[in-house]
């Protein structure tokens, strides 16, 4: 073989090699997704980051500077000084807070998500060809009043999402002023509270997607980039059954990290992680129903660790200013009231995904 053709062959081999490496990378996110989605055999979960297990490697707990915030404990949340906050070494900008909700608080948000948020004028995924307008307008009432077992099942599994505030147009992938309703005050306040506690700055919750995941359903890999403000963090609240969440890089060629999201867990996609690929390849039965652990165990001392150090430097609402539906909050501790919601969440996960759409100072789209 001549020197020239050897060189040529080497060149081809090099292209081939780099191409196959490229291909191997290209399917990395998909590979993990398929791996964790598999029904049988049940995948090995040993690489899934578990924030409930203190032997988990690759995660770092960090403390919050909570001198001021402790006084204003938002109903349904544990005091901020007791929150367990983590970062993932390989995923800068991503924050994980291990269930900062009380059982009553979890029940409140789950009830809002199934009973109230899917109501008109909010937008739901239900197809008008498959369901009458009454169902599309007030799905939970119809679901409760439905006596036919099969119809009820059909109504339950069909409900996959509702949007609040600016409604995301899934075809054009845009938000617009024409597709907008009032954002719920309680959820806006919850998001603002987290932003302040985590020192992430002023936050204005303007759009949310509430996702409903019957066990066995998934959410494919994607990035959330339709917002005008791509710097404001994304807040994600998980309730009910357990998920495996994948968080990768800014391209699908990067192998993602997998983590367990359990009821009450909060994920914040801030800074470098804001535009990263993520997915939910699996929703599975939770080992512990922490939302049903009543009466509330006082596992948190009511006094902060060092009361002398307290100073008030940020303006949090006083206890009179909470935007929660107080009647509903009280009802959530009543097992009779809770019973239909308990049934709903027995085989479902709920995720509230909150975004700021407008940049600071921007008044409209």
- 245 touches ligand OGA (CB under 6 A): yes
In the list 59, 88, 126, 219, the residue contacting ligand OGA (rule: CB under 6 A) is 219
Q: What's the rounded Cα separation, in Å, for the pair 151 and 197?
A: 44
By a kind-dependent CB cut-off of 5 to 8 A, residue 351 interacts, out of ligand OGA, Mn ion, none, with ligand OGA
Binding region for ligand OGA (CB under 6 A) out of 134-142, 188-196, 235-243, 335-343: 235-243
Smaller CB separation from ligand OGA, 118 or 304: 118
Question: In a 3-state reduction of DSSP, which class is residue 149?
Answer: helix
- 224 touches ligand OGA (CB under 6 A): yes
SS3 content of the chain, % helix, strand, coil (to 5): 30, 20, 45
- 106 touches ligand OGA (CB under 6 A): no
Is the previous residue joined to 151 through a cis bond, with omega within 30 degrees of 0?
no
By a kind-dependent CB cut-off of 5 to 8 A, residue 219 interacts, out of Mn ion, ligand OGA, none, with ligand OGA
- 29 sits in the region (left: phi over 0; alpha: psi -120 to 50; else beta) called alpha
The site string for ligand OGA over 332-361 (x = CB under 6 A, - otherwise) reads -------------------x-x--------
Is the previous residue joined to 247 through a cis bond, with omega within 30 degrees of 0?
no
Which residue's structure tokens are 């040529």? 8
CB of 222 to ligand OGA, least distance (A): 7
- 94 touches ligand OGA (CB under 6 A): no
* Positive/negative CA dihedral, 129, 133, 139, 145: negative
Q: How many residues bind Mn ion (CB under 5 A)?
A: 1
Question: What is the end-to-end Cα distance of the chain in Å, rounded?
Answer: 66
- 124 touches ligand OGA (CB under 6 A): no
CB of 47 to ligand OGA, least distance (A): 18
- 51 touches ligand OGA (CB under 6 A): no
By a kind-dependent CB cut-off of 5 to 8 A, residue 245 interacts, out of Mn ion, ligand OGA, none, with ligand OGA
CB of 192 to ligand OGA, least distance (A): 19
CB of 222 to Mn ion, least distance (A): 6
Question: DSSP letters of 3-69?
Answer: HHHHHHHHHHHHHHHHHHHHHHHHTHHHHHHHHHH--SSPPP-TTSB-TT-TT-SSEEEE----TTG
- 280 touches ligand OGA (CB under 6 A): yes
Residue 307: which residues within 8 A CB-CB, separation 6 or more?
A: none
Closest CA to 120 of 141, 144, 146: 141
Strand duo 257-261 + 242-247: pairing = antiparallel
CB of 211 to ligand OGA, least distance (A): 5
In the list 206, 224, 227, 265, the residue contacting Mn ion (rule: CB under 5 A) is 224
Contacting residues toward ligand OGA, per CB under 6 A: 209, 211, 219, 224, 236, 238, 243, 245, 261, 278, 280, 351, 353
Applying CB under 5 A, which residues contact Mn ion? Answer: 224
């Amino acid at each position: 073989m001549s020197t020239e053709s050897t060189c040529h062959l080497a060149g081809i081999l090099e292209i081939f090699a780099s191409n196959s490496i490229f291909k191997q990378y290209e399917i990395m996110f998909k590979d993990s997704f398929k791996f964790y989605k598999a029904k049988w055999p049940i995948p090995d979960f040993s690489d899934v980051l578990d924030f409930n297990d203190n032997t988990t490697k690759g995660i770092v707990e960090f403390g919050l500077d909570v001198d001021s915030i402790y006084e204003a404990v938002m109903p349904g949340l544990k005091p901020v000084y007791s929150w367990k906050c983590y970062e993932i070494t390989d995923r800068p900008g991503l924050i994980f807070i291990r269930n900062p909700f009380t059982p009553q608080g979890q029940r409140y948000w789950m009830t809002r998500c199934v009973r109230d948020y899917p109501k008109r004028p909010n937008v739901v995924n239900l197809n008008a060809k498959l369901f009458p307008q009454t169902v599309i307008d007030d799905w939970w009432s119809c679901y409760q009043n439905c006596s036919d077992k099969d119809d009820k099942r059909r109504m339950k599994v069909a409900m996959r999402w509702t949007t609040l505030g600016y409604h995301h147009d899934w075809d054009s992938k845009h938000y617009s002023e024409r597709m907008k309703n009032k954002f719920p005050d309680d959820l806006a306040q919850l998001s603002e509270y987290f932003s302040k506690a985590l020192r992430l700055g002023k936050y204005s919750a303007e759009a949310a997607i509430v996702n409903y995941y019957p066990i066995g359903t998934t959410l494919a890999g994607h990035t959330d980039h339709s917002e005008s403000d791509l710097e404001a963090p994304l807040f994600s609240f998980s309730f009910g059954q357990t998920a495996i969440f994948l968080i990768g890089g800014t391209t699908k060629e990067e192998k993602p990290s997998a983590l367990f999201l359990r009821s009450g867990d909060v994920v914040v996609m801030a800074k470098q992680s804001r535009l990263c690929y993520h997915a939910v390849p699996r929703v599975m039965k939770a080992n512990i129903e922490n939302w049903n652990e009543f009466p509330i165990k006082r596992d948190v001392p009511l006094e902060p660790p060092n009361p002398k150090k307290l100073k008030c430097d940020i303006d949090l609402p006083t206890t009179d200013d909470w935007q929660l539906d107080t009647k509903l909050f009280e009802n959530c501790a009543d097992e009779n009231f809770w019973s239909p919601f308990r049934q709903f969440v027995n085989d479902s996960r709920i995720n509230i995904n909150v975004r700021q759409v407008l940049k600071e100072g921007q008044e409209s789209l």
